[in-house]
């Protein structure tokens, strides 16, 4: 009797499990679909197969690559590192001053094809302390291009095509305009007068006919390879003060100029060193 009961219970359990596992699929009844449903469904499938895949955009809609790097962000063309921007020998050619990140303190954009410095090129980067634009093709600098750079201490415009100098920031300690096309008429009489902190002044390999005004603070002065033909008592010293001494000026180069320095012995009495140059 007990065995028969177990057998019955086992049979009931198997029947229930089978009912859960095998669920018959519902069948479509005749007339349950609207007329033409199948044909419309097939048409829609064919149309979908004709469309390009969603993850493969049409090549005709893809954006074209730019022919130059002019529109690329500065820090993709240059190296930006801790307040410094290095844009040296950039390819494709850099023809204008790049847009700088805010808080930039040091810019090195040497050996490019920069042609001009506009008055707004540095207007938003008032934190600049050093600008090096050596080896470009700069021939023009707008008035006021450096007027907002009150923290600028070092400026190099060497190896460019400048024929005149712009107004310079008052806090400059070093200015380099070697190897340009500067003549005396392109350097205003007071170009360096307000630069009371200027220590290094480099104007070699230009076309200057006379020595410009040199601030008292200057220690190193390079004027070699110009067209300077004479100096006078007031060029370095003061004709109205025989006790005046110019002790800060420790290096003066005037070699490569037509001037014969030995003809002007009274012009160097206030200096602790004689200029390097032609004496006979």
The pLDDT score that the predictor gives to residue 42 is 42
Rounded to 5°, the CA angle 224-230-253 comes to 25
Q: What is the mean pLDDT of residues 253-270?
A: 96
Q: Given this structure, which CATH class describes domain 71-147? A: alpha beta
- Compute the distance between CA of residue 266 and CA of residue 280 in angstroms, rounded to an integer: 16
Mean pLDDT of the chain: 82
Q: Are the beta carbons of 272 and 247 closer than 8 angstroms? A: yes
User: For residue 47, what pLDDT is reported?
Assistant: 46
Name the one residue in this structure whose structure tokens are 């100096």: 231
Query: Rounded distance, CA 121 to CA 125, Å?
Result: 9
Same fold, 71-147 and 162-279: yes
- How many beta carbons lie within 10 A of that of residue 82, not counting itself? 7
pTM of the model: 0.74
Residue 168 makes CB contacts below 8 A (sequence gap 6+) with: 146, 155, 175, 191, 192, 195
What does CATH list as the number for 162-279? 3.80.10.10
Where along the chain do its domains lie? 71-147, 162-279
Percentage of the residues of the chain whose pLDDT score is greater than 70:
74
For residue range 223-248, what is the model confidence (pLDDT) as tens digits?
Answer: 999 999 999 999 999 999 989 999 99
pLDDT at 11 over 60: no
Q: How many residues does the chain have?
A: 280
Three-class secondary structure of residue 86 per DSSP: strand
């Amino acid at each position: 009797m007990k065995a028969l009961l177990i057998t019955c219970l086992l049979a009931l359990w198997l029947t229930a499990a089978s009912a859960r596992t095998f669920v018959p699929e519902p069948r479509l009844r005749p007339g349950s679909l609207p007329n033409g449903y199948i044909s419309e469904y097939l048409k829609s499938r064919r149309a979908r197969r004709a469309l390009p895949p969603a993850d493969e955009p049409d090549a005709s809609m893809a954006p074209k690559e730019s022919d130059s790097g002019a529109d690329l962000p500065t820090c993709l063309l240059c190296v930006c590192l801790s307040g410094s921007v290095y844009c040296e020998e950039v390819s494709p050619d850099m023809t204008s001053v790049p847009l700088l990140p805010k808080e930039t303190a040091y810019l090195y954009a040497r050996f490019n094809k920069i042609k001009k410095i506009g008055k707004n090129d540095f207007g938003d980067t008032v934190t600049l302390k050093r600008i090096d634009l050596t080896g470009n093709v700069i021939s023009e600098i707008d008035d006021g291009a450096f007027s907002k750079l009150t923290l600028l201490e070092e400026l190099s415009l060497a190896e460019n095509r400048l024929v005149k100098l712009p107004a310079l920031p008052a806090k400059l300690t070093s200015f380099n305009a070697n190897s340009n096309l500067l003549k005396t008429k392109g350097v205003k009489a007071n170009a360096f007068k307000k630069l009371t902190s200027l220590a290094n002044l480099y104007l070699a390999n230009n076309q200057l006919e006379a020595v410009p005004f040199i601030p008292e603070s200057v220690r190193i002065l390079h004027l070699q390879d110009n067209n300077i033909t004479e100096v006078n008592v007031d060029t370095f010293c003061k004709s109205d003060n025989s006790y005046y001494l110019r002790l800060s000026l420790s290096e003066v180069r005037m070699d490569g100029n037509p001037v014969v320095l030995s003809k002007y012995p009274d012009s160097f009495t206030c200096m602790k060193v004689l200029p390097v140059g032609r004496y006979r």
